[in-house]
Structure 1
Amino acid sequence: MRKLLPVFGFRGRLSRAAFWLRVVLIGIAFVVLDAAMEPLLGAARVWVLNPLVLWALLAALARRLHDRDYSAWWLLFGLVPVLGAFWLLWQSLRRGSASDNRYGADPRRDTADFLVVGG
């Protein structure tokens, strides 16, 4: 299941660019699905879409924190009014760990597998 829906997974790391791209794509998907589901479900669509969007955004932010070498438990700091949200935003804007950390390999490192031909 993790392979099918990686957008909902909390494991691994996410670079800054990948994080912000994911946030934008989740936002676009939310707007499109919200508009499509409004005629079918009316106000009840909120109970279907909002938990999914929240879960996907928390997963992306957790993976971004992992790239900064912080545990996903730091997401709870977001419950602190104003300060928590600003701290999480600050962490999402900062560069990740320069090398591998306990959460995985550096996502900016080129890991392309290729065949070297020569002699």
Structure 2
Amino acid sequence: MEWMFLPLKRYADFQGRSRRLEYWMFALLMFLAVLVWAGVFVAVAGVGGFQAGAMSNLATIWVFAGVLAYLAILIPAIAVQVRRFHDRDMSGWFVLLNFIPYVGGLIAFVFMVLPGTPGENRFGPDPKDPDNVASMAEVFG
């Protein structure tokens, strides 16, 4: 469970490396949060009803809350992806691949699935290295 929240603890940390586990658990957390948000939105919109294409006040507030939550999560989401690229010994600027229409997101997805470089690279020590566990305990604790 702590892997899901680690990117939030490292909110705007664009330095270092992140394991695949950290990235994908955070992605799972975001997916589950969107499912819950959408479920509540459907329930709220159904209660208020749609009148001539207008949403109820409660649904509008819920959409506004969702936009604020998205903006709050945007920086840690970008930061964890940058650290994943660092784990592959690639520049964090590869995050900009996501802006290439059609294929950019797919290319970034492939890089997120691939394992990181073993051992230390120019962005720091290997997060999977057993000798590095003590420094990761500081992040969790």
Coarse TM-score class (shorter-chain normalised): 0.7 to 0.9
Q: Which protein has the larger Cα radius of gyration, Structure 1 or Structure 2?
A: 2
Cα distance in 2 for partners of 1:48, 1:21 equals 22
> What root-mean-square deviation, in Å, do the aligned CA atoms of Structure 1 and Structure 2 show?
2.5
Detail structure 1 runs of 4+ shifted over 6 Å in the superposition: none
More helix as a share of residues: 2
Given the alignment, which residue of 39, 43, 51 partners 2:71? Answer: 51
Once the two structures are superposed, the pairs formed by residues 80-119 of structure 1 within 5 Å of their partners are 80-111=100-131, 112=133
- Alpha-carbon distance, 1:11 to partner: 1.6
TM-score normalised over the length of structure 1: 0.75
Give the one of 6, 10, 17 matched to 1:13.
Answer: 17
Count of residues in Structure 1 that have an aligned counterpart in Structure 2: 109
CA distance in 1, matches of 2:11, 2:35: 17
Normalising by structure 2, we get a TM-score of 0.65
Structure 1: state its 5+ residue gaps: 114-119
Task: Give the superposition deviation at 1:21.
Answer: 1.2
Separation in structure 2 between the aligned mates of residue 66 and residue 18 of structure 1, nearest angstrom = 13
Stretches of structure 2 lacking an aligned partner (at least 5 in a row) = 1-7, 45-57, 135-141
